[in-house]
């Protein structure tokens, strides 16, 4: 819910007889822009160029409605998802990119990420943009699924004639993060203006920005997080609950190893052999500490911005054979390459055998009679990086024209395709890593070797791995090389070459859309009082989406330590739809009724996955005088689950788990939480007195990160949303050119059908 006050940049026309009648975003009925009930804010081509930026998403982030979008600063490092380095995504109203429908000239665009419907904004040509319309609510009935929060429509230039070229280069005030941009566009009208063809090329290159290049992200003294105030653990109302902390570190983990020799869960020494300084462990600090021998948090999460190289070719063409038939075409080819580094691999409580040769050399024979635990951030193994290459093709072919003076048609076909090649570096192969860690002295030669090269039945250290080797053959002559993790930079390069591997995964997304519609008015039959026209639009659409992902063979076989097994995946769905829209300006140009109009739209869909759905919208506008108008809408949107949500196989992930029985969270749940936690703790052997004294001093860490899997669910059903918008538009005639809009919106999205009910239906069937 929000109140929006803005200058409506796309709404420059003044009300009057000469107001332009055009097709606007959010409607298939040609009408004045201010006669649309849903709020629209637009960014013009001139405003885009004036920003001096060459990343469209970074420009659109200035719009509060799109401030949660993924621009250049969130498309690299640890912020980017697997295979998503360099991708820019729009997130309207912070409801998620999967609920934001992105269009080009009012038509769908192929996704940029496998198993998703999210469009990579890097594939939109900046120099061909006429304007960008941002519409909130009421879009699904007009354009179909995914528009739960609304629509962002990129309107491209039409009938461009001439030659333009633009080049620019920029650099940050720190002398880094350079950006280069070049574009050239050429267009020509022919056949006495009935035909036009325009071609455009854009090149854009931006440099990666390391977190250590900025103090706020890479300097431990300047990097800060707001965390639980350690002087307010008893929640004193006179003391701030959360305060900023600097010099933050990861508790009980170190670049040279945090070594626990007595297995009490607390490090005793660093891997270099020095006494371990834990610093100040922050209770409720998400595994953070202040100072100590621990790994600094500053700079840990990788690049602030990825490097990106982009080539884009576009072509627009049209030819009007007669007023009854005009052919139009759009074509594009975009090739991008992005690179970024994220965080290092890490270990928590990795076990070293009592006879580990490096353990004995560092701390002496018998120093760890029961073995030792090592927690480590593996900077010296090589920080994990990702290089992603994308190739996007899109073709639009269509015909439109006038059937009669009051009736027009539009028929189009779209084919879009995105191919992605993703290469990740410095990943640990599970069986090799644990075999290399299990280092012992050869009883014959006295050299340090992998135990698996001596005699271990092909099983790799059951205390860590517990399974047979699958990527190499143990025994004499094995390729295994012993790995030393006790110290920073002490690992043998041959051992690192043995345990580390790159992986290359590929994916392909394709989209086909066939749409036909007719629109017009009933002026030849009747008009409303004041001369208003009853407008309507009817049409149908068929859409087919496919997505296929082929992970690296090592990932498919579950060989990487940090990836769960992920087989070759593929999914598809199709949908057939029929839609209709009406607009009735009941009164216009009358006293106390400059405009009174009502409208509505409905769309019937039949998905190959979730079956039949219905979306609809009703809206209205009342303008007592030309200077003031009230507008509002109420709609039901539907979002069918995308391919990944339905079909993606289980893949590895990490989740930070917080303890609900932590003393600070006991009162955050229901009235039963305290009793439930007491029951759980008593079941773990704690006495009532111990439970009553369950205080911060007894709980050094209440959070943990666990590996797990995530994947699709073919039993998912459609999601629906009910949306309200209401607002007013001020257009004072005594200030020509000024338009002010104030709009309120409320979007409530929920799954309409229980997955469990669908399961029961399947079982009964």
Q: Which domains does the chain have, with CATH numbers?
A: 2-187+308-340+388-424+506-645+716-751 (2.40.170), 211-301+345-381 (no CATH), 654-710 (no CATH)
Residue ranges for the chain with pLDDT beneath 50: 1-17, 695-703, 752-765
* Beta-bridge partner residues of 758: none
Rounded CA separation 652/708 (Å): 6
Q: Please report the pLDDT score of residue 17 as a whole number.
A: 45
Rounded CA separation 599/41 (Å): 20
List all residues 6 or more positions away from 536 whose beta carbon is below 8 Å from its beta carbon: 29, 519, 520, 521, 522, 580, 581, 582, 583
Q: Please report the pLDDT score of residue 94 as a whole number.
A: 92
Q: Please report the pLDDT score of residue 704 as a whole number.
A: 57
* Beta-bridge partner residues of 744: 3, 726
Q: Please report the pLDDT score of residue 56 as a whole number.
A: 94
The whole-model pTM stands at 0.86
Q: Please report the pLDDT score of residue 4 as a whole number.
A: 40
Q: What is the pLDDT of residues 129-169, one digit of tens each?
A: 999 999 988 788 999 888 899 999 999 998 999 999 999 99
Q: Please report the pLDDT score of residue 758 as a whole number.
A: 36
CA 110, 114, 117: angle at the middle one, nearest 5?
Answer: 45
Rounded CA separation 744/243 (Å): 34
Q: What is the DSSP letter of 70?
A: B
Q: Please report the pLDDT score of residue 610 as a whole number.
A: 94
- Of the candidates 377, 366, 355, the one whose C-alpha atom is nearest the C-alpha of residue 262 is 366
Question: Quick one: CA torsion of 366, 372, 378, 380, rounded to 10 degrees?
Answer: 0
Rounded CA separation 286/657 (Å): 10
* Residue 618 CB coordination number (10 Å): 17
Rounded CA separation 711/66 (Å): 28
């Amino acid at each position: 819910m929000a109140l929006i006050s803005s200058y409506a940049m796309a709404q420059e026309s003044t009300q009057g007889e000469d107001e332009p009648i055009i097709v606007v975003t959010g409607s298939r009925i040609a009408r004045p822009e201010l006669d649309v009930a849903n709020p629209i804010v637009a960014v013009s081509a001139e405003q885009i160029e004036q920003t001096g930026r060459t990343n469209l998403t970074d420009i659109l982030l200035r719009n509060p409605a799109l401030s949660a979008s993924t621009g250049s600063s969130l498309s690299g490092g640890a912020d980017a998802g697997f295979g998503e380095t360099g991708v820019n995504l729009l997130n309207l109203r912070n409801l998620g990119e999967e609920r934001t429908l992105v269009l080009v000239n009012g038509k769908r665009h192929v996704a940029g990420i496998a198993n998703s419907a999210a469009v990579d904004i890097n594939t939109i040509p900046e120099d061909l943009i006429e304007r960008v319309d941002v519409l909130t609510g009421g879009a699904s009935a007009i354009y179909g699924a995914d528009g739960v929060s609304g629509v962002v429509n990129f309107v491209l230039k039409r009938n461009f004639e001439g030659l333009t070229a633009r080049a620019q280069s920029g650099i940050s005030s720190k002398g880094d993060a350079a950006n280069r941009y070049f574009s050239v566009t050429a267009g020509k009208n022919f056949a006495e203006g009935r035909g036009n063809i325009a071609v455009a090329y854009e090149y854009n290159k931006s440099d990666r920005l390391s977190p250590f290049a900025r103090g706020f992200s890479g300097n431990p003294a300047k990097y800060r997080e707001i965390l639980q105030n350690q002087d307010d653990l008893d929640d004193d109302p006179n003391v701030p609950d959360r305060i900023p902390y600097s010099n933050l570190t990861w508790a009980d983990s170190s670049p040279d190893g945090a070594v626990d020799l007595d297995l009490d869960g607390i490090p005793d020494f660093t891997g270099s052999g020095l006494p371990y300084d834990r610093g100040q462990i922050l209770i409720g600090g998400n595994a953070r500490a202040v100072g100590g021998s621990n790994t600094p948090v500053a700079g840990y999460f990788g690049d602030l911005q990825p490097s990106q190289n982009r080539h884009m070719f576009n072509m627009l063409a049209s030819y009007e054979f007669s007023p009854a038939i005009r052919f139009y075409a759009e074509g594009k080819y975009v090739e991008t390459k992005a690179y970024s580094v994220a965080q290092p691999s890490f270990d928590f409580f990795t076990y070293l055998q009592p006879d580990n040769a490096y353990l004995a050399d560092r701390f002496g024979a018998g120093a760890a009679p029961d073995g030792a635990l090592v927690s480590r951030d593996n900077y010296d193994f090589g920080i994990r990086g990702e290089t992603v290459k994308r190739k996007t093709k899109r073709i639009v072919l269509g015909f439109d024209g006038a059937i009669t003076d009051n009736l027009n048609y539009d028929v189009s076909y779209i084919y879009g395709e995105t191919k992605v090649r993703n290469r990740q570096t410095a990943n640990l192969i599970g069986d090799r890593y644990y075999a290399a860690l299990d280092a012992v002295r050869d009883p014959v030669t006295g050299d340090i070797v992998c135990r698996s090269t001596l005699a271990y039945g092909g099983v790799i250290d059951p205390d860590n791995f517990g399974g047979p080797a699958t990527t190499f053959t143990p025994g004499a002559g094995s390729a295994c090389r012993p790995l030393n993790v006790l110290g920073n930079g002490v690992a043998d390069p041959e051992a690192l070459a043995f345990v580390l591997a790159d992986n290359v995964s590929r994916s392909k997304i394709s989209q086909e859309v066939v749409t036909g519609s007719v629109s017009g008015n009933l002026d030849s039959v009747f008009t409303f009082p004041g001369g208003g026209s009853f407008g309507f639009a009817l049409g149908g659409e068929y859409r087919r989406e496919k997505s296929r992902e082929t992970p690296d063979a090592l990932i498919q076989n579950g060989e990487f330590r940090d990836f769960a097994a992920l087989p070759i995946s593929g999914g598809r769905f199709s949908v057939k739809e029929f839609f209709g829209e009406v607009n009735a300006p009941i009164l216009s140009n009358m006293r106390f009724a400059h405009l009174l109009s009502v409208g509505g739209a409905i769309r019937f869909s039949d998905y190959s996955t979730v079956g039949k759905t219905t979306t609809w919208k009703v809206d209205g506008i009342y303008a007592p005088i030309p200077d003031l108008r009230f507008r509002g809408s109420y709609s039901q949107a539907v979002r069918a689950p995308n391919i990944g949500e339905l079909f993606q196989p289980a893949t590895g992930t990490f989740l930070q788990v917080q303890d609900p029985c932590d003393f600070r969270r006991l009162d955050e749940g229901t009235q039963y939480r305290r009793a439930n936690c007491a029951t759980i703790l008593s079941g773990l052997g704690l006495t009532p007195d111990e439970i009553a004294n369950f205080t911060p001093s007894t709980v050094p860490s209440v959070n943990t990160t666990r590996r797990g899997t995530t994947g699709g669910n073919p039993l998912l059903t459609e999601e629906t949303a009910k949306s309200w918008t209401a607002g007013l538009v001020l257009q004072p005639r005594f200030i020509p050119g000024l338009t002010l809009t104030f709009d309120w919106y409320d979007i409530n999205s929920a799954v309409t059908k229980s997955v469990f009910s669908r399961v029961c239906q399947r079982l009964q069937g």
